[in-house]
Amino acid sequence: MSSPTDLTRLTAVQMADGLAAAEFTSVELTQAHLDRIERLNGTLNAFLLVDAEGALATAREVDAAREAGEDLPRLAGVPVAVKDIACTQGLTTTAGSKMLADFVPPYDATIVTRLRDARMPILGKTNMDEFAMGSSTEHSAFGPTRNPWDLDRIPGGSGGGSSAAVAAYLAPLAIGSDTGGSIRQPAAVTGTVGTKPTYGGVSRYGVIALASSLDQIGPCARTVADAALLHEVLGGHDPMDSTSIDAPVPPVVAAATGTRDLTGLKVGVVTEIGGEGFQAGVLDLFNDALDQLRELGAEIVEVSCPHFAYAMAAYYLILPSEASSNLARYDAMRYGHRSTPEGSPSAEQVMAASRDDAFGDEVKRRIILGTYALSSGYYDAYYGQAQKVRTLIARDFEAAFEQADVLVSPTAPTTAFKIGDKTEDPMAMYLNDIATIPANLAGVPGMSIPSGLAAEDGLPAGLQILAPAMEDQRLYAVGAALEEALRSAQGGYVFEQAPEIEVRS
Ligand code: GLN
């Protein structure tokens, strides 16, 4: 640990402890990350904006406060990256879209305020699929992010920037948003940890909306304990968000550091997730993890969730419907990109030209789909029907959680695919979220932890853990126990095995 750049290799827990013990300063720690970003972001494109000045200012304040003997929050001085979907006062916030390329929010999202209250230096804003629509970060208007494990592959999406940053040691912690899997699937394909909390567990105020009844903010990290610390900072009631739950944050930190003995725990394997379309190596790692869970004392039971088969169809009606309504605000009048056609165009013509220029193909596709599904005459047949299916999926979860304390599955059907492989085929892209979408439809919490490296390609795969609403701590208890068991079985954490990144110009 002699050179300051080595500081980036520590876990967030070790960083917090090292700062508290005055082994290094927050300025040193923050600068080490900024140096690495400087060296590698040109290759990875994980950050859309780096706020070196702001991050170092916070770091200096924390160092001075610590020197003065002030009582500081646990993560004070530990840097964090924020997905470019959360408004940051004075810092451009694009949601990965040309529409918001120049948007500088006049206020902070509640979660950003919480990071500031926790005194965490904010390194910058991370790349994402436009308006969080996608599973590869290729739909970003600002170019794709590359997967640190293999620069020709995708880092997952929509939050590929955050997960790539964490996997590549550009940041120890990052914020993600998960509407159908955008925290968990990027975690899976980058060998990192990501949690989608219970719907309403973390404030959405100031987060650019994709589909309001599905969106949740959550932590990206390298270890389960690190994710728990960030989850605790983010969670809790916010009067500014009408769907925020007025209850204490579930005891996630205690769960992540508690007993590793899972005796008596019932783990349900959902029969409907897996099999056809899943890569053999991903399924092998999943089955190995089940053996580890048995060794930890858990009982594995099979559960059936018959309506999960319709989750994808219901999601791709509900999401576009809500998105088409949420994205109607980008009208080139109040804010956002404006294109002015020649001559003396009407307001409608300006609006149409602006939306045509500034929205990408995937966003247009979903606006059209959603507008259609909500139009009179089709509302009952599509949107209404999808909502009924959503209720059935929630009931499947209720029944499953009567038989098991948590459910597990592979997080994504495959390891990271090649950049460009699925951009021409929206359905193939959508199918990446087959395992993650049910949790969003039902509002239950989910986490992805690395299960290992797949035999075929040596790339990381993820294991998903799901728990009943407001029982987020169960994810952390099971996740931490399994993480440790896999670590000793595999001779180290998965993320530690990532190859060195070769700089590309
Ligand atoms: N990949 C999914 C989609 O395209 C999930 C997106 C998300 O969670 N934001 O909708």
Report CA-CA distances (Å) from 106 to 93, 122, 186, 206, 491: 11, 17, 30, 10, 48
- From ligand 1's centre to the CA of 132, what distance in Å? 6
Q: Is 21 exposed, middle or buried (0-12, 13-18, 19+ CB in 10 A)?
A: exposed
pLDDT in tens, 401-422: 999 999 999 999 999 999 999 9
Catalytic annotation on 83? yes
Mutate-to-test residue for ligand 1 from 83, 315, 319, 427, highest number of ligand atoms within 8 A of CB: 319
CA of 178 relative to ligand 1 center, distance in Å: 7
Beta strand 460-466 pairing with 173-178:
unpaired
Distance CA 113, CA 493 (A): 32
- State the distance from the centre of ligand 1 to the C-alpha of 296, rounded, in angstroms: 33
- Would you state the pLDDT for residue 276? 86
Q: Strand, coil or helix: what is 316?
A: helix
Q: For residue 388, indicate whether it is catalytic.
A: no
Residue 320: its H or E element: helix 311-326
For residues 428 and 422, is the Cβ–Cβ distance under 8 A?
yes
Q: How far is the CA of 156 from the centre of ligand 1 (A)?
A: 10
- The total of structural domains in the chain comes to 1
> Mean pLDDT over residues 461-484, rounded?
98
Report the residue among 97, 126, 128, 129 best suited for mutation to probe ligand 1: largest number of ligand atoms under 8 A from its CB: 129
> 497 alpha carbon to ligand 1 midpoint, in Å?
28
> pLDDT for 171-213, tens place per residue?
999 999 999 999 999 999 999 999 999 999 999 999 999 999 9
Nearest ligand 1 atom to alpha carbon 214: 8
Atom of ligand 1 nearest to the CA of 178: 8
CA within 13 Å, CB half, 394? 13
- pLDDT exceeds 90 at position 259: no
d(CA 477, CA 413): 24
1: confidence class by pLDDT, cuts 50, 70, 90: very low
Q: What is the pLDDT of residue 334?
A: 85
The answer to the question of residue 338 being in a domain is no
Choose among 170, 217, 211: nearest CA to 190.
170
Residue 477 lies inside a defined structural domain of this protein: yes
pLDDT tens column, 82-110 = 999 999 999 999 999 999 999 999 999 99
Indicate which residue's Cα is closest to atom 4 of ligand 1. 134
Contact by Cβ (8 Å): 365, 324: no
Q: Confirm whether 383 is domain-assigned.
A: no
Q: In this structure, is residue 22 part of a structural domain?
A: yes
**Which of 135, 417, 429 most suits a substitution to test ligand 1, by most atoms within 8 Å of the C-beta?**
135
Tell me which residue has its CA closest to atom 5 in ligand 1.
180
Ligand 1 atom with the shortest distance to the CA of 211: 9
User: Where on the phi/psi map is residue 194: left (φ > 0), alpha (ψ -120 to 50), or beta?
Assistant: beta
3-state secondary structure of 303: strand
Q: How far apart are CA 9 and CA 226, in angstroms?
A: 13
> 336 or 281, which is more confident?
281
Q: In 253-297, where do the E strands start and end?
A: 266-270
Annotated active-site residue 422? The verdict is no
Among the listed residues 161, 174, 179, 156, the one whose alpha carbon sits nearest the alpha carbon of residue 78? 174
Residue range 363-373: mean pLDDT, rounded = 97
Task: Supply the angle between the helices 224-234 and 472-490 in degrees, to the nearest 10.
Answer: 160
Residue 40 φ/ψ, nearest 5 degrees: -110, -15
**Alpha carbon 323 to chain centroid, angstroms:** 18
Q: What is the CB < 6 Å shell around ligand 1?
A: 132-135, 158, 178-182, 210, 319, 433
CA of 6 to the centre of ligand 1 (A): 34
Give, using CA atoms, the residue closest to atom 10 of ligand 1.
Answer: 133
Closest atom, ligand 1, to C-alpha of 185: 1
Tell me the C-alpha to C-alpha distance, in Å, between residue 16 and each of 10, 13, 21, 89. Answer: 10, 5, 9, 26
> What is the best residue among 133, 207, 318 to mutate for testing ligand 1's pocket, by most ligand atoms within 8 Å of CB?
133
Q: Is 207 left (phi over 0), alpha (psi -120 to 50) or beta?
A: beta
Give me ligand 1 centre to Cα 369, in Å: 15
Q: Is residue 179 part of a domain?
A: yes
Instruction: Say what the pLDDT of residue 2 is.
Output: 42
User: DSSP secondary structure string, 171-228?
Assistant: -SEEEEEESSSTTHHHHHHHT-EEEEPPTTSB--TTBPPS-TTT-EEEEEESSHHHHH
Question: What pLDDT was estimated at residue 335?
Answer: 81
Residue range of the domain that includes 68: 4-306+399-497
CATH assignment at residue 475: 3.90.1300.10
pLDDT-derived band at 19 (thresholds 50, 70, 90) equals very high
Query: Is 394 inside any structural domain?
Result: no
* Residue 3 pLDDT greater than 70, yes or no: no
> How many angstroms separate the CA atoms of 85 and 13, rounded?
26
Mean pLDDT, range 342-359, rounded to an integer: 96
Round the average pLDDT of the chain to a whole number and report it. 96
Strand partners, 308: none
Q: Return d(Cα 34, Cα 364) in angstroms, integer.
A: 36
DSSP 120-165: --EEEEE--SGGG--SSSTT-TT-PPPBTTBTTB---SSSHHHHHH
Q: Which of 162, 163, 177, 182 is catalytic?
A: 182
CA distances from 300 to 135, 270, 280 (A): 30, 11, 21
Query: Could you report the per-residue pLDDT of 282-322, keeping only the tens digit for each?
Result: 999 999 999 999 999 999 999 999 999 999 999 999 999 99
Q: How does pLDDT run across 370-400, given as a tens digit for each residue?
A: 999 999 899 999 999 999 999 999 999 999 9
What atom of ligand 1 comes closest to residue 183's alpha carbon? 8
442: confidence class by pLDDT, cuts 50, 70, 90: very high
Separation of alpha carbons 311 and 436, rounded Å:
10
- CA of 471 relative to ligand 1 center, distance in Å: 23
In a domain, 29, yes or no: yes
Residue 377 belongs to some domain of the structure? no
User: Which of the residues 135, 158, 162, 177 is marked catalytic?
Assistant: 158
Tokens of 163: 């997960």
- Return the pLDDT at 275: 82
Question: What is the average per-residue pLDDT within 161-176?
Answer: 98
Q: What pLDDT is attached to residue 97? A: 98
